Amino acid sequence: MRPTPSPVTNDCSAGVPPAVAGASRPAAPLWATQVATFFGAGRLKPGPGTWGSLATIIVWGLVSLRIPPASRTWATLIAAAAVTLIGIPAATLVARSSSIKDPQFVVIDEVAGQLVALIAVPLAWKTFLAGLILFRIFDIWKPFPIRRLERLPDGTGIVVDDLGAGLYALAVMHLLLHSGLLIG
């Protein structure tokens, strides 16, 4: 009688090599974990996404003070793009190592989306607070087509849906600024 082969999980469709059932996946590299959790902000409770967004507001507010006002819009765009480009592979590695599609402790997506919500926004506590609130509302609510973006594979789905929430927040923020309801 031949021995029965070990059960195998097949995650090849997600780009993950097959693994023996019950075997733990290798840990994500330290750089990926640090980036994906935004240097530990994603480990804070409750609401790691809100902590990630708040950390982004604080860090970006401090960085923005050192950027000439005429360059802040471009700097925010470049920062959001850089965070996205680094965040997608980091989120992918951490999600795969945790075997969770979109782990709550991965908050680099909130960092990217929050930065998008702050594009061309005056550097003021009111605008930063409004940006935080608007982004979190759209990130939690996920209006069309944001929920569909979550279906994208791995880190792309983790990060891109928050970029969508950031775009919604950005649009509302600029409507508030241009209507005079929010003064920077």
- pLDDT by residue (tens digit) across 3-62? 444 343 334 444 444 444 445 678 999 999 999 999 999 999 999 999 999 999 999 999
Contacts of 3 (CB under 8 A, 6+ apart): none
Q: What is the pLDDT of residue 58?
A: 97
- pLDDT by residue (tens digit) across 71-113? 999 999 999 999 999 999 999 999 999 999 999 999 999 999 9
What is the number of other CB atoms lying within 10 angstroms of the CB of residue 114? 32
What is the Cα–Cα distance from 161 to 176, expressed in whole angstroms? 23
Q: Quick one: how many helices (H) and strands (E) in the chain?
A: 7, 2
Q: What is the pLDDT of residue 25?
A: 77
Pairing status of strand 19-20 against strand 8-9: antiparallel
The DSSP element (H or E) to which 77 belongs, if any, is helix 72-98
Helix 154-179 and helix 72-98, axial crossing angle in degrees, nearest 10: 150
What backbone phi and psi angles, to 5 degrees, belong to 119?
Answer: -65, 125
For the entire predicted model, the pTM comes to 0.84
What is the number of other CB atoms lying within 10 angstroms of the CB of residue 22? 8
